[in-house]
Amino acid sequence: MGTLRGQLRFLREQGFAVHVISSLSDAVARFVAVEGASYIPVEMRREIAPLDDLRALWRLWLVLRRLRPDICQVGMPKAGLLGGLVAWLARVPHRVYMLHGLRLETLSGGKRLLLKWAERIACRTAHRVICVSESLRRRAVELGIVVDERCAVLGAGSDNGLDIARFAESESLRTASDQIREDFGIPQDASVVGFVGRLTRDKGVYGLVQAFEQLKKAYPELHVLLVGAYEEGDPVPRSTRMKIAIEPCILHVGHVDDATPTTMR
């Protein structure tokens, strides 16, 4: 939800009634409350689950028929497919699909084909597809997921912008970074590879650990800092989780709301 930080509040301040629909989550509920929006939980599984997906489709239909929104923005493959279909069926006047990435790139066989068609349908049900980068836009067009005329990139990319002033080099930032090294037992002169995201197979965690094992031979002080939580859908291989758990130079700190050094301590 961090990618929507500030957007919901801005829309509300402009006079919109803002409603957030997602699977039940305490973290989402807290975020929506801070933004001053309305939260409507509708259970949707990230992985393919035909019966659950049909139930979610029906519940989404009931919600949209009640709200009758002027604008509907959906994101992620499952929500994009189900939410996009329902918004199209409900004839929502303005429909937007935020394309954050192409998970199908990490799949093969039937799952890849199924996800490709899911993305195609999500894009076809939207009036406009917003891609978070130019390279993603080009790849989506190349794969036939969306036509060039229907998609766009905001500015130079991203879906919520970035306040680079928060990351500008400063004495306070250096102090916070040094403290993090001390807290986690990382030598001050050691190189650190950082990862921020969901710990799933498709995010490349398996490959990251493999690369670490190779680089460790040449750089004994190398450390890896993993920021994010494991998910049961598309799980990281058990052998990889074991290596993360027992390797002292791989540090897993779990989920954090803000990954800047001054807030991770």
What CATH number corresponds to the domain at position 231?
Answer: 3.40.50.2000
| Residue range of the domain that includes 195 | 166-264
Specify the pLDDT at position 262: 57
> What pTM was computed for the model?
0.76
Per the structure, how many domains does the chain have? 2
Specify the pLDDT at position 141: 95
Closest CA relative to residue 44, chosen from 96, 92, 17, 80? 80
Mean pLDDT, residues 11-33: 91
Domain boundary (153, 181, 203) is at 153
Same domain, 65 and 102: yes
Per the domain annotation, does 218 fall within a domain? Answer: yes
Closest CA relative to residue 151, chosen from 164, 168, 133? 133
Same domain, 220 and 146: no
What separation in angstroms does the CA of 50 have from each of 102, 106, 128, 142, 184? Answer: 21, 22, 27, 29, 43
Same domain, 112 and 148: yes
Query: How many Cβ atoms sit within 10 Å of the Cβ of residue 49?
Result: 14
Same domain, 149 and 171: no
Same domain, 189 and 249: yes
Domain boundary (127, 153, 179) is at 153
Per the domain annotation, does 24 fall within a domain? Answer: no
Closest CA relative to residue 130, chosen from 3, 258, 21? 3
Each residue's pLDDT tens digit, 72-128: 999 888 888 999 999 999 999 999 999 988 888 877 888 889 889 989 999 999 999
Structure tokens given for 235: 């799980």
Q: 199: buried, middle or exposed (CB in 10 Å: 19+, 13-18, 0-12)?
A: buried
Per the domain annotation, does 213 fall within a domain? Answer: yes
Per the domain annotation, does 79 fall within a domain? Answer: yes
β-sheet bridge partners, residue 98 = 75, 130
Each residue's pLDDT tens digit, 134-146: 999 999 999 999 9
Same domain, 201 and 127: no
Same domain, 179 and 213: yes
Indicate whether 52 pLDDT > 90: no
SS3 per residue for the chain:
CHHHCCHHHHHHHCCCCCEEEECCCHHHHHHHHHHCCEEEECCCCCCCCHHHHHHHHHHHHHHHHHHCCCEEEEECHHHHHHHHHHHHHCCCCEEEEEECCCHHHHCCHHHHHHHHHHHHHHHHCCCEEEECCHHHHHHHHHCCCCCHHHEEECCCCCCCCCCHHHHCCCHHHHHHHHHHHHHHCCCCCCCEEEEECCECHHHCHHHHHHHHHHHHHHCCCCEEEEECCECCCCCCCHHHHHHHHHCCCEEEEECCCCCCHHHHC
Distance of CA 14 to the CA centre of its chain: 26
Same domain, 50 and 146: yes
Per the domain annotation, does 233 fall within a domain? Answer: yes
Same domain, 141 and 177: no
Mean pLDDT, residues 56-71: 94
Report yes or no: 38 and 20 within 8 Å, Cβ to Cβ. yes
Per the domain annotation, does 9 fall within a domain? Answer: no
Per the domain annotation, does 181 fall within a domain? Answer: yes
Same domain, 91 and 148: yes
Same domain, 58 and 94: yes
Q: What's the rounded Cα separation, in Å, for the pair 112 and 49?
A: 16
Structure tokens given for 259: 């990954």
Domain boundary (102, 127, 153) is at 153
Closest CA relative to residue 79, chosen from 46, 54, 114, 108? 46
Query: Which band of pLDDT confidence, cut at 50, 70 and 90, is reported for residue 202?
Result: confident
Q: What's the rounded Cα separation, in Å, for the pair 250 and 137?
A: 34
Per the domain annotation, does 221 fall within a domain? Answer: yes
Same domain, 94 and 134: yes
In the predicted model, what is the mean pLDDT of the chain? 89
Closest CA relative to residue 262, chosen from 204, 180, 183, 201? 180
